[in-house]
Each structure stands twice: as C-alpha cells, then as structure tokens.
C-alpha cells in the first residue's frame, strides 16, 4: 500500500487573503503597542514574561483562565510533547479551549500528534500570526525584545481585542477539525485512537505512556487491541495498514 500523503493545499485564495489582511491589521496594532512600551507611554498593555520565564508564566496564568482562543501557526514535536499533556489537564479542570494550528506549516509528525488528541478542541487552518484571546477580554501577543530576549505582552485594549477577534474569525473560516484526519479504525476507544496517532509518529510504547500519562502496560494492551482490530500481527505491519512505511516498537 502506498504511504498516505497529506494534501498540498486545501484552502481557497480568498481564505488565505482574509487571514493575511486580518493578521496584518493585528500585527500593525502589535507594533504600535511595542512602540508605546518602548516610549513609556503604554496604557492597557504590559509585558507578561521574558525569555526562559515565558513557559512557566503561561503555565501559571493558564490555571486562572476560563476560556481560551489560541492561534499558533507552527510547532515542533518536542514543543507539542511538552504542551499537550498540560492542555489536557487544563481542559479537564474546566478550561474551554479552541486551539488552531496552520495546517501546511506543521510537519507530518505534529499533525498526527494533534489528530491523536481526544481532549481539547484542536483545528487545522490557515494561520499567519500567533496570538491568544483570554476570557474574551485580554489578548496575548509577541512582545518587544527585552535585553535581547523575546517576550509576551498582554493587552486589554478594546481596539486590539476587536482586531484579534477579526483575525480569529478569518482563521476560523478556513478551519476544520483535526479529527477529520483521524485514521478510520473501528471499535477503538478514544485513548486507543490516541495511541494509533502516536504509533504513526514512530513513538515507542514507553514514550506513548509518558505522553498519555498512563502505564506502559496499558499502552501495550491498547497496541494489542489495535493490532487485533487491524488484523495484523506486528506494529510494522500496522504501519503499512495505517499509511506509513513502518512503526517502530
């Protein structure tokens, strides 16, 4: 069986243009905020965190959020392995989250990891600019460089919030659920479908267990059920049935 390939492009020019236009307007507002911070005239905006402190700050802040709209153009597999378990915990604690990634900027491994997620609402779309809208009242954007390090800034500006929502709506108009790309394997639980997706990235049983926060024994039981559902004997054979040249053990 030939290996599965992802479509090269599935978005109309008008969708791309709408996202680009809305993103440029938001970026222009972001540039003005950075200038105001540099001049000391900023209102309704502050630096949230800088450099290596950003991830810890975001983790702490997210525990106070009720609603999150997130646009992230791209990510690496290592970044997703770190962020997805935390997102799962936040959603289980009550966070209402919709997270959108640019379909064509992600590599295949990242796409499969997102397809495998059954906790949280993940979408693929056209996306140019990273941002977060928190509780319908705050916007997180890339901040100015501070002593040579990147930063995140937070603004409550009604104008920026309006531009952020225009950008969000343009991105959402091109979006589709990651679940649409899920392998069509019947009679599997949500977690087993997650294991399917992670197997397709080449992750070992131990790595899958760490990612899903379950025991290796549970993962191996799930893999056995998956192989049975696919009517194959090995993970290598499962790789061909699932559209890859092989799945390592």
Q: Which helix (H) or strand (E) holds 160?
A: helix 158-172
Do 152 and 195 share a structural domain? no
The total of structural domains in the chain comes to 2
Residue 6 backbone class (left: φ over 0; alpha: ψ -120 to 50; beta: rest) = beta
Q: Is residue 223 part of a domain?
A: yes
Prediction pTM value:
0.73
| pLDDT score at 186 | 52
CATH number reported for the structural domain that contains residue 128 in this entry: 3.30.870.10
pLDDT in tens, the chain (249 residues): 333 334 446 788 899 999 999 999 999 999 999 999 999 998 899 999 999 999 899 999 999 999 999 999 999 999 999 899 999 999 999 999 999 999 999 998 898 888 888 788 899 999 999 999 999 999 999 999 998 999 999 999 999 999 999 999 999 999 888 765 554 455 677 788 778 777 766 778 898 888 888 999 999 998 888 888 766 666 766 665 555 433 444
Residue 114 burial (CB count, 10 A):
22
CATH number reported for the structural domain that contains residue 223 in this entry: 1.10.10.10
DSSP symbols for 86-124:
HHHHHHHTT-EEEEEEETTTS-HHHHHHHHH--SSEEEE
Do 206 and 143 share a structural domain? no
Q: Is residue 249 part of a domain?
A: no
Last residue of a domain, one of 180, 203, 221: 180
Question: How many helices (H) and strands (E) would you count in the chain?
Answer: 9, 8
Q: Is residue 3 part of a domain?
A: no
Last residue of a domain, one of 146, 180, 214: 180
3-state secondary structure of 51: helix
Say which residues have a Cβ less than 8 Å from residue 129's Cβ, sequence separation at least 6. Answer: 23, 26, 27, 71, 73, 167
d(CA 247, CA 203): 8
Do 137 and 190 share a structural domain? no
What range defines the domain where residue 232 resides?
A: 183-241
């Amino acid at each position: 069986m030939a290996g599965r390939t992802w479509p090269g492009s599935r978005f109309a020019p008008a969708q791309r243009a709408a996202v680009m236009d809305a993103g440029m307007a938001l970026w222009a507002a972001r540039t003005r905020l950075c200038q105001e911070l540099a001049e000391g005239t900023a209102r309704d905006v502050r630096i949230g965190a800088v450099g290596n402190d950003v991830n810890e700050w975001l983790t702490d802040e997210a525990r106070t959020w009720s609603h999150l709209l997130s646009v992230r153009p791209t990510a690496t597999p290592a970044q997703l392995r770190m962020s997805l378990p935390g997102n799962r915990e936040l959603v289980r604690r009550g966070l209402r989250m919709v997270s959108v990634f640019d379909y064509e900027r992600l590599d295949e491994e990242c796409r499969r990891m997102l397809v495998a997620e059954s906790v949280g609402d993940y979408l693929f779309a056209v996306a140019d600019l990273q941002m977060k809208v928190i509780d319908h009242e705050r916007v997180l954007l890339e901040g100015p460089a501070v002593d040579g390090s990147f930063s995140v800034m937070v603004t409550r500006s009604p104008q920026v919030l309006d531009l952020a929502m225009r950008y969000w709506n343009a991105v959402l108009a091109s979006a589709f659920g990651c679940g649409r790309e899920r392998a069509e394997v019947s009679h599997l639980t949500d977690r087993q479908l997650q294991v399917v997706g992670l197997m397709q990235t080449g992750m070992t049983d131990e790595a899958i267990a760490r990612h899903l926060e379950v025991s290796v024994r549970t993962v191996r039981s799930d893999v056995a059920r998956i192989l049975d559902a696919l009517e194959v004997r090995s993970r290598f054979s499962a790789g061909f049935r699932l559209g890859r040249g092989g799945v390592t053990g």
